[in-house]
Amino acid sequence: MEIVSALVDLVAEVFHPSMVEGALIRQGIAPTTAHRLTSQPSVTIMRNLLLTHMAVEWTATHGIENANLARVHNDYVDVEYAIIAWACGGEYVTHDQRARRRFEEAVKLSDRIWP
């Protein structure tokens, strides 16, 4: 699980609000608007962060050549449910350990980026 924690840190650092805000400003977004878009997590941002995390994890731990369609699809569905549970501020009640881990990763990302 150390690699998963390191990947959470990597994704959180790359998508730090100040970095994203700066990128938006460079693209022509007004500074006030850029700040508002990055100052709080949204469902869209969290979904993108978790999908990015999952893609980097798959590449680093399993190798993209070993990604079978059914397993990747299952992980994608796990991300969708994890984001809904995160957005509702509740617990993710499941016996599926991988699904539970996706929810925990969403919480860690959110807490790490927006303490």
pLDDT tens-digit profile of 62-101? 777 777 888 888 989 999 999 999 999 878 888 999 899 9
Stated pTM of the model: 0.83
* Number of domains making up the chain: 1
Distance of alpha carbon 22 from alpha carbon 81, whole angstroms: 31
Q: How many helices (H) and strands (E) does the chain have?
A: 6, 0
Q: What is the tens place of the pLDDT at every residue in 2-29?
A: 777 888 888 899 889 999 999 999 999 9
Smallest Cα–Cα separation from 15: which of 32, 42, 38, 35? 38
Domain membership of residue 29 as a residue range: 2-113
Q: Identify the DSSP state of 40.
A: S
Neighbours of 2 (CB within 10 A): 6
